Amino acid sequence: MNMKQKLSLTTVATLASPLALAHGEHQGSGLAGALSHQFTSLDHLAMLAVLGGALYFVLKLTRSERKRDDQEGR
């Protein structure tokens, strides 16, 4: 992708970003409103659950690899 294409794509993405608002019914404003929205909205809770599951499996995998390496004497 050349520089002209990157600039065009960036311009289109910037101009289209207000259209990408998924929902606008935020509770309150500021930090408290943003945090309450993250933990009370179903789509955000689902994403947190997916991220939590992924983190669990990554940690489990790295622990098992570390344990195996310790047993092999590395």
Show pLDDT as tens, one digit a residue, over the chain (74 residues).
Answer: 788 888 888 888 877 766 556 666 656 677 887 778 778 888 888 989 999 999 999 999 888 888 777 777 76
Cα–Cα distance measured from residue 25 to residue 43, given in angstroms and rounded to the nearest whole number: 13
Q: Are 27 and 40 in contact (CB under 8 A)?
A: yes
Supply the pTM of this predicted model.
0.49
Identify the CA nearest to 23 among candidates 43, 50, 52: 43
Q: What residue type is 46 in one-letter code?
A: A
What SS3 state is found at 41?
coil
